[in-house]
Amino acid sequence: MKYYYKKNSLNKKRNLKILSGIMFISGLIICAYIFFPLIFWQIFFAPAFANQEITAPIPKVSIVDTSFLESMVEQASQGISGIDYTNAQNWFPGYKSQSTNPVKIASYTISIPKLDITNATVSTQDYDLAKHLVNYQGTAVPPEKGNTVIFGHSTLPWLFSQKDYKTIFADAYKLNVGDEILVNIQGATYKYKIENITVVDPANTSVLEQNYTDSFLTLITCTPPGTIWKRLVIRSRLETN
């Protein structure tokens, strides 16, 4: 009887140690996931953006306050929850397209010389970012007046491949004001020049609004690459001869 009691006691202690170890490792993984965007931003992307003409709510020297931490925790929770970010509709949860007019052009291509992207397909028919770039429905289509909003997936920069639409905008953070975006549609090529770069929260849907004073083209991807924390918004305007 004494031997049986001692054996059970040892088993319980061993099980408690294993459970404690699992909980400790799980806690470390969750903390790393939550704080990864801040660390990744500070090491890789803050220096790159610091030299650009960029408007961003992420200061060049980030101060970790309550709202800052809440933002990171919220985005990490969304990632853990299994939200499908290959569906462009999930990038700005508060936005609802106002237009139901059918688009006559099913797809076209864009090229971004600075990023070594050539003839990437842009679809106007669906929201599947795993198969192509997405011309968000309800926004303009080049070269018409209005704001053409193109969504593209990103990931860690060293995984970039222009043939893989899940990684195609991984290097978008390298773009600067003045860089060119070429649109080829129905046999004609149109040149857009970048004039503004911003970083916004997913709750900020103003970047999807239309402006009919000219023909604008806006590229949107997640930033820092490899996270779903913020949205990198690259706005360009059609150049006319």
We report the CATH number of the domain holding residue 206 as 2.40.260.10
Buried b (16+ CB within 10 A) or exposed e, 193-213: ebeebbbbebebbebbeeeee
> Would residue 134 count as lying in a domain?
yes
Whether residue 46 is contained in a domain is answered as no
Tell me: the pLDDT tens digits for 136-193? 999 999 999 999 999 999 888 888 888 899 999 999 989 999 999 999 999 999 999 9
Query: Could you tell me if residue 39 is inside a domain?
Result: no
Task: With beta carbons less than 8 A apart as the criterion, state whether 186 and 141 touch.
Answer: no
Query: Has residue 122 got a pLDDT over 70?
Result: yes
d(C-alpha 126, C-alpha 134), whole Å: 7
The reply to whether the predicted model has a pTM over 0.75 is: no
Phi/psi at 74 (5° precision): -60, -45
**169 part of a folded domain:** yes
Q: Does residue 66 sit within a domain?
A: no
Domain with 139, as residue range(s), is 88-238
Q: Say how many residues make up the chain.
A: 241
Cis ω before 143 (30° cut-off from 0): yes
DSSP type of residue 235: E
DSSP one-letter code for 103? P
Residue 17 lies in a domain: no
* Backbone dihedral angles phi then psi of residue 138, each to the nearest 5 degrees: 100, -10
Q: How confident is the model at residue 8 (pLDDT cuts 50, 70, 90)?
A: low
- Please provide residue 85's backbone torsions phi and psi, each rounded to the nearest 5 degrees: -90, 5
* Strand, helix or coil for residue 222: strand
SS3 category, 227: coil
Report yes or no on 82 lying in a domain.
no
* Residues paired with residue 219 on neighbouring β-strands, in sequence order: 150, 234
Considering its fold, how many domains does the chain have in total? 1
The separation between CA 29 and the C-alpha centre of its own chain, rounded to angstroms, equals: 22
Q: Using one digit for the tens of pLDDT, what is the confidence trace for 56-110? A: 444 444 444 455 544 554 455 455 557 888 999 999 988 877 665 678 899 999 9
| CA–CA distance, 241 with 239 (Å, rounded to integer) | 7
Contact 40, 20 (CB under 8 A): no
Domain membership of residue 7 (yes or no) is no
